[in-house]
Structure 1
Amino acid sequence: MAVIFVTGMSGTGKTTALNRLEQRGYRVVDTDVGGWIEDLPLSEGVGTEPQWREDRIDALITEHEISGKPLFIAGTVLNQGKFYPRFDEIVLFSAPLEVMLERIATRDTNPFGKTAEQRDQIVADTAEVEPLLRVSATVEINTHKPLADVVDQLAAFAGHSPNKIHFRCRP
């Protein structure tokens, strides 16, 4: 069983890569959609921050620990570090800032990053948050290379393709 966590700033290609992995037959969960995240108060008591619903993430990982099937999870939230010990790989997606901003400007699958304020937040988060993610990552993939290469590199962490049947020959 492999649980591979993909994290990174907005516009690095997490959703696109997971969609390709899903097309190859892998189980993927993009935590940006589907009720995996809720706004919770910050520990300082001022404001809220999107965080994983820990009960749901715990159940998801437990299910896959039992199943023995690989799982790819993607997201970037404040409390993701609580689950790092349960991931086989923590993969940081990175790309040059200008590439990220161009992708965000042209994507139609996610409205985040369309306003000047949101783009400023992406620039600030890239400077502040990405270095913290880098320290915790087990591997970094620069997603400014061809998508197929990125997806192949991710799939290698899962061990084998879920679409292939493996036979064991007896001597």
Structure 2
Amino acid sequence: MNSLLKQISKKAVELADFEFTQEQTENIWLGTKPVSETEIKLTEKRLGIEFPTDYKQFLSITNGFSAPNDIEPTFEPINKIDFLKNIDSFIIEAYSIDGIENIGNQLEQSIIVGGINQEQYFLLIPPNSTNEKWKYWKFANWYPGEEEHKDLESYFKEVLNFMNKQIETE
């Protein structure tokens, strides 16, 4: 995953579609310092869950990751991670109406790891009695419904592929 994040950082700086800090541009890195195992365990305890392995791996590489463009969310530092219901209860309410209440139920359980105060979120949805695996959603009102990913790596690969296509068309 480290290599993938470095490639995304390089492409983002190369495309220059977004404003990055001087440090990000000079280092060609959209991440920050890694999170300690203790910080991960404390956050898991605070939330009452155990993060999926790939998300813990991500945190061991970087404590947050800036959005590479205006359609992807910024991955938040570990101290900002929380249940979506504690950050944006309105969106859960909006998606809890008849016909789409399943989305509302999943949003109710979700943990927001990216996109706080942005137009799109990246959510981790813990396993439950009907779903044995973690779900990975990019979710935005401007996008029709959730965009589900198999795991974090598949999400970041998709981001990189999109950026590569942008470079090809320029």
Q: TM-score, normalised by structure 2?
A: 0.31
As a proportion of its length, which structure holds more strand?
A: 1
As a proportion of its length, which structure holds more helix?
A: 2
Bigger relative contact order (CA 8 A; separation at least 6): 1
Q: TM-score, normalised by structure 1?
A: 0.31
Greater Rg over alpha carbons, structure: 1
